[in-house]
C-alpha cells in the first residue's frame, strides 16, 4: 500500500533529529502545562475567552481592519494592502527602492516566510539579513524553519558551528554561548548599517492603532532602533478590537509558546518618530496581506484564523514529534499547519490535501490551543474537502468492502454471525507476517458478533 | 494600492455577509487574566522586585549598591543621563562616565542608565518609552542596562499598564535580559540586547 508523505518522511528522518524534536517539544509542553497550572485555577476558561475574543475579531474584520487603518494613518503610518504573496513582496521592494534602501534587517515573521520575501529581495538586489538567531542560521543554510517558535529545533550545535565556520564567523566552535556571542557581534554591524527594518506583528489593536510585537532576543527592537524605515508585514487576521484584549492574549501567548509569563520584549508601535520623539524610524509602513485569508474567512474553517502562532499544538502533537516540521512541506507545520497550509495553498489545495490526514485526531492540539481552535474538527472538514475534490489519498485503506457490508442490514447480520468461524481459526499459524509479532504477546478476544442485536431485540420485546 | 484595498475589504465583507450571526465581543473583567497568586501580594513594590528577580532582572533600591554591582562587573564606560550627578560621581571612581549617547560609541559603552516610563509588578516588567529613553539604542546595545524606575509609576497588573498607555510612538515592556534558546533549547542571555538587565528603584 502507498504511504502518506508525512509518514514516509518520518520513517526516513535522521534519528538524532527525531530525538531532538521529540525531547524539545515534550519540554515545551511540560513547561506550558506547569506554568498555566500554577498561575490559573481554570486555564481552560481563559483559553475559551481568548478564543471568543479572536473569533469576534475575525468575524468583525470588515469593521476592525478599516478602523486599524484609520488609527495607524492618524499616527502617521502609511498603510498598504496586498492581495497576493507576490503583491506583498512587490509592495516591500517598492517602498525600499523608492527610498534608495539597499540593506535591510529582518525580525522573525512567519508571513515573510509565507511570501518568500528574502528570495524576492535578493532578486532585486537588496540585502536582507534575518536577525533572529535561529532564522539567521536557517538563512545561511538555505533551509526552512521547522517550528513556528523554534525554527532550528531540527539542528544541533555541531550543524550550527559548521555553518558559522563556513560563513566566516570564526573557527569551528560548538559552544552555544560562543555561537550566540558571534551572532551578537555580526548582527550589531548589520543593524547599524541597515537602511530599513522589516518586522511582522503579533497583534494590531484597531482602536489604539498599535502594532504589538514580541521577541525574546530583542532583535525586533534593534530593527526599530537603528534603521530609519520600518516596514511591517501583517496578515489581515491579526487585528483585535482594542488594547484591553491584549491583557488576555499576551498572558496566554508567552505561557503557551515558551512557558514565560510574558515574552522578554513586548513592543507597542504607535507610529513613526516625531519631532519631540526622534529616536525611531522616520517612516513607518504597514502592509496588510490577504494571501488567501479572506477566502479562509469565507470557508467553514475560519476558526483557524484565530491562531496567534504560539506553537503549542506542534509541541504536543504525536505526529509532529515523530515527523518533525519539514514533513509538512510548508511554512506552517504541525496541527495548525495541517489546517492552514492546504488552505493558504489556494488553487493548489490538492497538493497539500494529505496534511489533514497526518493526525490521529487525538485532540491534544485543541486542548493546548490558547485560542481554543477546534483543530480536529477542521482537519475532518478538510479531509472531507479533499475527498470531494478527488485529491490523491495514498495510505488510506480501501473501505469498499466494508462500505457494502455496512450499508446492507442483511449482509451485516450474516457477516456478524458467520464470523464466529474466526474462533476456530488458529491465528498463530496464519502466514501473515504483519500479524505474527502482535499475536506473540496478545490474543484476540472471542468473536461475539451479533450478540448485541439479539440482546436489543429481546429487550424491545419485554 | 487603493484597488488592492477595495478588493480585500470587499472579499472580507462578502465572506462575512452570509453568517447568520456573528460572535459578540466578549465582556470580561479587567482581572480575567490575573494569576491566582496575585491577590495574596499586598505590596506592589515588593511584588515587582520578586517578579523582576524571577525573570533575571536585578533590582537595586539604592545608588551605592547599584554602583558596586557595576564595579564588580568590570564595566568600562557607563552612560548616565545629565541630572544624575551623584550616581555619575560614584561610577567615575571605577570607570569612564559619559552623559552623551551617540551612534559612534554604541560598541564602546557597556553600561547605560535610562529612565523607565513605569513598571509592572505582576510580571516584573520595566516599561520604556521614547519620551523616557530618548535613544532606543542606549537601552538596548550595552551589555548592562539599568532602568530607573520610580516607585510611584509601578502598575500593579498587566491590565493596569495596558489601560494607562502613554501617548508615545513606541513603548517597550522589558521582562528580563535578552534571551534565546534556539541552540538545542539551551538558555543563553544577551543575544542582541542586554545580557544583564537591572533596575534601580527610586
Report the pLDDT averaged over residues B151-157: 97
Instruction: Write out chain B residues lying below 8 Å of A281, CB-based.
Output: none
Residues of chain A below pLDDT 70: 1-2
What is the tens place of the pLDDT at every residue in A85-119? 999 999 999 999 999 999 999 999 999 999 999 99
CA B93 to chain A, closest CA, distance in angstroms equals 29
CA dihedral A406, A411, A412, A417 (to 10 degrees): -160
B64, B91 contact by CB (below 8 A): no
Q: How many inter-chain contacts (A to B, CB under 8 Å) are there?
A: 254
Instruction: Write out chain B residues lying below 8 Å of A260, CB-based.
Output: 55, 175
- Give me the pLDDT at residue A400, please: 81
Instruction: Write out chain B residues lying below 8 Å of A298, CB-based.
Output: 11, 14-15, 18
pLDDT band at B2 (very low <50, low <70, confident <90, very high): low
> For testing the chain A interface, which of B102, B169, B178 should be mutated: the one with the most A CBs within 10 Å?
B169
Of the candidates B149, B74, B139, the one whose C-alpha atom is nearest the C-alpha of residue B119 is B149
Q: Which residue has the cell 514529534?
A: A321
Q: Which cell goes with B201?
A: 528603584
Q: What is Dmax (Cα atoms) for chain A?
A: 90
- Give me the pLDDT at residue B1, please: 47
Q: How far is CA A126 from CA A94, A98, A225, B72, in A?
A: 11, 12, 20, 44
Query: Taking the mean position of all CA atoms in its chain, how far away is CA A436?
Result: 39
Percentages helix, strand, coil for chain B (3-state, rounded to 5) are: 30, 25, 45
Report the pLDDT averaged over residues B19-46: 95
Q: Residue A221 and residue B13: Cβ atoms within 8 Å?
A: no
Of the candidates B174, B180, B178, B194, the one whose C-alpha atom is nearest the C-alpha of residue B70 is B194
CA B94 to chain A, closest CA, distance in angstroms equals 26
Of the candidates A94, A74, A458, A2, the one whose C-alpha atom is nearest the C-alpha of residue A270 is A74
What is the tens place of the pLDDT at every residue in B47-96? 999 999 999 999 999 999 999 999 999 999 999 998 888 999 999 999 99
CA B22 to chain A, closest CA, distance in angstroms equals 6
Q: Residue A224 and residue B136: Cβ atoms within 8 Å?
A: yes
Q: Which helix (H) or strand (E) holds A379?
A: helix A375-388
> For testing the chain A interface, which of B108, B183, B196 should be mutated: the one with the most A CBs within 10 Å?
B183
Rounded Cα distance between A305 and A302, Å, is 6
CA A39 to chain B, closest CA, distance in angstroms equals 5
The pLDDT mean for chain B works out to 95
Q: Residue B188 and residue A219: Cβ atoms within 8 Å?
A: no
Is pLDDT at B174 greater than 50 in this prediction? yes
Report the pLDDT averaged over residues B124-146: 94
Which of helix, strand or coil describes residue B73?
Answer: coil
Instruction: Point out which residues pair with A235 in neighbouring strands.
Output: A289
Q: Which cell goes with B200?
A: 534601580
Q: Residue A217 and residue B131: Cβ atoms within 8 Å?
A: no
Is pLDDT at B130 greater than 50 in this prediction? yes
Looking at per-residue pLDDT, the higher value among B138 and A450 belongs to B138
Pick from B137, B168, B175: which is nearest to A270 by CB? B168
b/e code B133-169 from CB counts within 10 Å (16+ = b): bbbbbbbbbbbbbbbbbeeeebbbbbbbbbeebeebb
B109, B142 contact by CB (below 8 A): yes
Pick from B23, B106, B175: which is nearest to A262 by CB? B175
Instruction: Write out chain A residues lying below 8 Å of B14, CB-based.
Output: 294, 298
- Give me the pLDDT at residue A1, please: 53
CA A175 to chain B, closest CA, distance in angstroms equals 9
The fraction of chain B above a pLDDT of 70, given in percent, is 99
Amino acid at each position: 500500500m502507498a504511504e502518506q508523505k508525512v509518514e514516509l518522511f518520518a520513517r526516513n528522518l535522521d534519528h538524532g533529529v527525531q530525538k531532538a524534536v521529540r525531547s524539545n517539544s515534550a519540554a515545551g509542553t511540560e513547561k506550558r502545562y506547569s506554568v498555566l497550572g500554577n498561575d490559573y485555577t481554570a486555564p481552560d476558561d481563559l483559553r475559551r475567552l481568548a478564543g471568543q475574543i479572536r473569533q469576534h475579531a475575525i468575524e468583525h474584520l470588515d469593521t476592525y481592519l478599516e478602523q486599524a487603518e484609520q488609527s495607524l494613518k492618524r499616527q502617521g503610518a502609511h498603510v498598504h494592502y496586498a492581495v497576493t504573496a507576490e503583491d506583498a513582496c512587490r509592495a516591500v521592494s517598492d517602498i525600499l527602492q523608492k527610498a534608495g534602501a539597499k540593506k535591510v534587517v529582518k525580525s522573525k515573521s512567519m508571513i515573510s516566510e509565507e511570501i518568500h520575501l528574502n528570495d524576492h529581495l535578493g532578486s532585486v538586489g537588496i540585502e536582507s539579513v534575518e536577525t533572529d538567531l535561529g532564522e539567521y542560521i536557517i538563512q545561511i543554510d538555505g533551509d526552512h524553519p521547522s517550528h513556528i517558535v523554534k525554527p532550528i529545533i531540527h539542528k544541533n550545535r555541531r550543524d550550527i558551528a559548521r555553518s558559522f565556520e563556513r560563513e566566516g564567523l570564526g573557527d569551528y566552535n560548538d559552544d552555544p554561548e560562543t555561537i550566540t556571542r558571534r551572532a551578537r557581534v555580526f548582527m550589531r554591524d548589520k543593524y547599524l548599517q541597515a537602511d530599513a527594518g522589516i518586522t511582522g506583528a503579533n497583534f494590531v489593536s484597531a482602536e489604539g492603532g498599535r502594532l504589538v510585537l514580541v521577541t525574546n532576543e530583542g532583535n525586533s527592537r534593534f530593527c526599530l532602533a537603528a534603521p530609519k524605515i520600518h516596514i511591517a508585514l501583517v496578515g489581515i487576521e491579526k487585528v483585535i478590537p482594542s488594547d484591553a484584549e491584549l491583557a488576555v492574549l499576551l498572558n496566554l501567548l508567552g505561557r503557551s509558546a515558551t512557558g514565560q509569563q510574558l515574552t522578554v520584549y513586548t513592543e507597542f508601535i504607535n507610529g513613526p518618530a516625531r519631532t519631540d520623539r526622534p529616536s525611531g524610524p522616520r517612516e513607518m509602513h504597514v502592509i496588510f496581506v490577504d494571501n488567501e485569508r479572506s477566502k479562509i474567512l469565507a470557508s467553514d474553517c475560519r476558526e483557524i484564523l484565530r491562531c496567534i502562532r504560539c506553537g503549542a499544538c506542534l509541541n504536543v502533537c504525536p505526529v509532529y514529534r515523530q515527523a518533525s516540521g519539514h514533513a509538512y512541506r510548508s511554512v506552517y507545520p504541525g496541527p495548525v499547519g495541517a489546517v492552514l497550509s492546504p488552505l493558504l495553498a489556494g488553487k493548489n489545495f490538492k497538493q497539500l490535501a494529505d496534511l489533514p490526514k497526518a493526525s490521529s485526531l487525538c485532540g491534544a492540539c485543541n486542548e493546548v490551543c490558547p485560542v481554543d481552535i477546534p483543530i480536529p474538527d477542521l482537519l475532518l472538514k478538510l479531509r472531507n474537502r479533499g475527498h470531494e475534490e478527488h485529491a490523491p489519498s495514498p495510505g488510506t485503506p480501501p473501505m469498499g468492502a466494508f462500505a457494502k457490508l455496512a450499508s446492507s442490514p442483511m449482509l451485516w447480520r450474516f457477516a456478524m454471525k458467520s464470523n464466529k468461524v474466526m474462533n476456530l481459526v488458529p491465528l498463530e499459524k496464519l502466514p501473515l507476517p504483519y500479524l505474527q509479532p502482535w499475536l506473540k504477546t496478545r490474543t484476540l478476544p472471542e468473536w461475539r458478533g451479533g450478540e448485541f442485536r439479539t440482546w436489543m431485540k429481546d429487550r424491545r420485546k419485554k | 494600492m487603493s484597488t488592492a484595498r477595495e478588493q480585500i475589504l470587499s472579499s472580507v465583507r462578502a465572506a462575512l455577509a452570509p453568517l447568520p450571526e456573528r460572535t459578540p465581543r466578549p465582556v470580561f473583567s479587567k482581572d480575567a487574566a490575573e494569576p491566582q497568586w496575585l491577590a495574596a501580594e499586598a505590596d506592589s513594590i515588593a511584588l515587582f522586585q520578586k517578579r523582576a528577580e524571577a525573570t533575571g532582572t536585578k533590582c537595586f533600591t539604592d545608588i551605592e549598591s547599584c554602583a558596586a554591582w557595576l564595579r564588580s562587573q568590570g564595566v568600562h564606560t557607563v552612560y548616565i543621563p545629565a541630572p544624575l550627578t551623584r550616581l555619575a560621581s560614584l561610577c567615575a571612581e571605577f570607570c569612564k562616565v559619559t552623559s552623551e549617547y551617540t551612534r559612534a560609541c554604541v560598541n564602546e559603552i557597556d553600561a547605560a542608565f535610562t529612565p523607565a516610563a513605569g513598571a509592572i509588578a505582576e510580571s516584573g516588567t520595566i516599561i520604556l518609552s521614547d519620551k523616557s529613553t530618548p535613544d532606543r539604542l542606549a537601552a538596548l546595545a550595552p551589555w548592562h542596562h539599568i532602568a530607573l524606575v520610580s516607585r510611584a509609576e509601578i502598575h500593579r497588573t498587566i491590565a493596569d499598564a495596558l489601560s494607562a498607555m502613554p501617548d508615545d510612538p513606541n513603548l517597550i515592556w522589558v521582562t528580563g535580559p535578552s534571551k534565546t534558546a534556539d541552540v538545542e533549547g539551551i538558555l543563553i542571555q544577551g543575544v542582541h540586547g542586554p545580557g544583564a538587565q537591572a533596575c534601580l528603584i527610586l
